A and B are shown apart, each in its own frame.
Chain A
């Protein structure tokens, strides 16, 4: 009975094929939504089965599997798909190619389900490629627009390169380990990890898969396709930012046991992830186009996700991609409503930060209120950290690095945001707002992340942390934290205490120009064009 769950990837294809025979326009979304809600129900049933009986469901000769990773991701994708389809019902109504849109949407969802549920490298390769072509056709959905088609071309070139690198990785894996079956391979890799491995080919394989993941997840220097694809219909943008870019993280989770054997690849993942997170977050703050800004925000989040993988926190990457996906999808999907409101009220949309920090909305004794807030937020963190330190010896070795890096990164980004957007506001409120956001992140990361870790990897989870030998020491972390704080204070000093009208330094302008021009990425590409 439970084997029926394994049919999930085929349901969207059946929907797409049946849509060809639907003549009435209003039946297109109805059929699509009805059948995709079946996927959500099946997915939830599958998750119940995996949790209840603590066993994976396999079928089709071991080609597909519904395991712990699928149990988390399939319902997530299914519910996301349902929301996107429902949203697209009215949003896309007047667009040319309404039926085509739903057909393509179903194809890409099929590819995502297949990718998540694959238990074989060849199936994974097929899903990987099917996703590339479906994405291309969706991004270039507005075929009459030259810029949409041009940007879709860039997307496709990077994805095609990712396909090739992935296929080469699969070929080398088969030649080295003699199997395509991921379950068999994972067992083999786990057994091999017990003793030191000295095979350069494993590093090459790991690197190929990492590069493929980087390309699909828009990690620098392959990030450029994502910020420029916002001309796609809004539901596609939501899907792209919430689902498609996450496949890099999903792939690395599927190959987690391979990466146990190649700590160097994990280290590379950490470095490129960190660089992408910082670079994209900074560019996000300075680009003038709001859609590109959102694109860079996603790039930054993907960098963070890859960084987590690089630290050995594979399950945290899964959690991160889901949380970010929900957040970013809701941002895109509510944009239409905000635009509609803005047409009636020229002051809309207002930012929450604007209302909170510029307009004095909070009545009464604000200082007292924030003291209470500080008491109820900082104290639990101190208790939490204290308990963790007493109970777990590994805290500083494993989790602390992630948590403190999360703090450093989030605080760093938001510090910049504060200075550029809410600089004249009450500093106490700003600081408390930042601390509150940090606490939310810390708590959810620690509790949900740990729960996911136990569910997906069980006792093997600690092996990944050990393999990620690029463990940042406590001293380095504190030094980094101190540097961030110093930079922050320097900004505060220059902003509030330095003399007004002083000339900005050339270095600062050079840095600003570097960010505004998105790292001179296109200038470099244009050199070849000019020569031509």
Chain B
């Protein structure tokens, strides 16, 4: 039971970011790193600890997820968005327990991409905030392309692994009323959040008051690595879902 509670908290079942956001010495990028580490720990722990499936925990995580979707719609900060998305996807992890490990890794990789995009914005535009930094697709296609890959992955579209593992688990599980609620919430929650970012920074007319900066070779290589990692996971995802 204790291990179940531990996994529940580690896997972002409770919105502990509410507490962390109050600590003045922690910035949003630190909260992301903490959440990502805990999420990874939860993911790894499922390989070693046998947890009991708990419906109440899934319900609590679901409420937390809905609240996190709301919080994510209130922010235009990449770091915050990235850690809110852990909490949005937590019910899936708790619902499918051990089977959701690969989905969690895919989520972690795609959110790392979002985090890196936040760092790029912070470095060149002063903060990880994408408000008013519009029309990236037109003026800086490289970062636009990478960001679109991450957002498509988060919005649960193929050929990215998030969608493949998501489909794989739901095809191989038994539907129940809670199952339907979790699946529908995640399906649309992730989608709306990804679409919102697309609309606000990828699309729109380029802002004439901003000097748009190209990616450096190092930044390009880092993002390429993340995308290749996603595609590698996709290959495994295709195997899992089709075979």
Interface residue ranges, A against B (CB under 8 Å): 61, 63, 96-97, 100, 120, 122-123, 125-126, 129-130, 132-133, 137, 140, 143-144, 146, 149, 153, 156, 160, 163-164, 167, 170-172, 174-175, 180
The 5 closest A-B pairs by CB, nearest first: A143-B203, A133-B157, A144-B205, A126-B158, A149-B203
Closest B-chain residue to A173, C-beta based?
B171
Separation of A97 and B141 alpha carbons in the complex (Å): 9
Separation of A170 and B175 alpha carbons in the complex (Å): 12
Shortest CB-to-CB span from A64 to chain B, Å, is 11
Separation of A146 and B174 alpha carbons in the complex (Å): 43
Given known contacts A130-B158, A133-B157, A153-B199, A97 and B137 CB-to-CB distance under 8 angstroms: yes
Given known contacts A96-B138, A143-B138, A143-B202, A123 and B158 CB-to-CB distance under 8 angstroms: no
In the assembled complex, which residues on chain B have CB atoms less than 8 Å from the CB atom of A97?
A: 137-138, 141
- Kindly state whether residue B125 has any CB partner on chain A within 8 Å: no
In the complex, the answer to whether A170 meets B138 with C-beta atoms within 8 Å is no
| Cross-chain contact of B204 among A122, A132, A144, A174 (Cβ < 8 A) | A144
- Kindly state whether residue B23 has any CB partner on chain A within 8 Å: no
Shortest CB-to-CB span from A366 to chain B, Å, is 56
- 17 sampled A-B residue pairs with Cβ under 8 A: A61-B242, A97-B137, A126-B164, A126-B167, A129-B163, A130-B158, A130-B159, A143-B137, A143-B202, A143-B203, A144-B135, A153-B195, A156-B195, A170-B171, A171-B171, A174-B171, A175-B174
In the assembled complex, which residues on chain B have CB atoms less than 8 Å from the CB atom of A143?
A: 135, 137-138, 202-204
Determine, out of B69-77, B113-121, B184-192, B214-222, the stretch whose residues face the partner at the interface.
B184-192
In the assembled complex, which residues on chain B have CB atoms less than 8 Å from the CB atom of A170?
A: 171
In the complex, the answer to whether A122 meets B199 with C-beta atoms within 8 Å is no
Dominant SS at the A interface?
helix
Given known contacts A143-B137, A143-B203, A164-B187, A122 and B171 CB-to-CB distance under 8 angstroms: yes
Interface residue ranges, B against A (CB under 8 Å): 135, 137-138, 141, 148, 152, 155, 157-159, 163-164, 167, 170-171, 174-175, 184, 187-188, 191, 195, 199, 202-206, 241-243
| Cross-chain contact of B242 among A63, A144, A175 (Cβ < 8 A) | A63
Given known contacts A140-B203, A143-B203, A143-B204, A130 and B157 CB-to-CB distance under 8 angstroms: yes
Given known contacts A125-B167, A167-B167, A61 and B243 CB-to-CB distance under 8 angstroms: yes
Separation of A156 and B199 alpha carbons in the complex (Å): 12
In the complex, the answer to whether B138 meets A160 with C-beta atoms within 8 Å is no
In the assembled complex, which residues on chain B have CB atoms less than 8 Å from the CB atom of A96?
A: 138
Separation of A2 and B188 alpha carbons in the complex (Å): 41
Closest B-chain residue to A13, C-beta based?
B159
Dominant SS at the B interface?
helix
In the assembled complex, which residues on chain A have CB atoms less than 8 Å from the CB atom of B152?
A: 133
In the assembled complex, which residues on chain B have CB atoms less than 8 Å from the CB atom of A126?
A: 158-159, 164, 167, 241
In the complex, the answer to whether B204 meets A146 with C-beta atoms within 8 Å is yes
Closest B-chain residue to A96, C-beta based?
B138
Separation of A393 and B164 alpha carbons in the complex (Å): 51
In the complex, the answer to whether A164 meets B242 with C-beta atoms within 8 Å is no
With A130-B158, A149-B204 already in contact, 19 other A-B pairs whose C-beta atoms are closer than 8 Å: A97-B137, A97-B138, A122-B171, A129-B157, A130-B159, A133-B152, A133-B155, A137-B148, A140-B203, A144-B135, A146-B204, A149-B199, A149-B203, A153-B195, A153-B199, A160-B188, A164-B188, A167-B170, A174-B171
In the complex, the answer to whether B157 meets A100 with C-beta atoms within 8 Å is no
Separation of A411 and B164 alpha carbons in the complex (Å): 48
In the complex, the answer to whether A123 meets B242 with C-beta atoms within 8 Å is yes
In the complex, the answer to whether A164 meets B184 with C-beta atoms within 8 Å is yes
In the complex, the answer to whether B203 meets A171 with C-beta atoms within 8 Å is no
Given known contacts A153-B199, A156-B195, A175 and B157 CB-to-CB distance under 8 angstroms: no
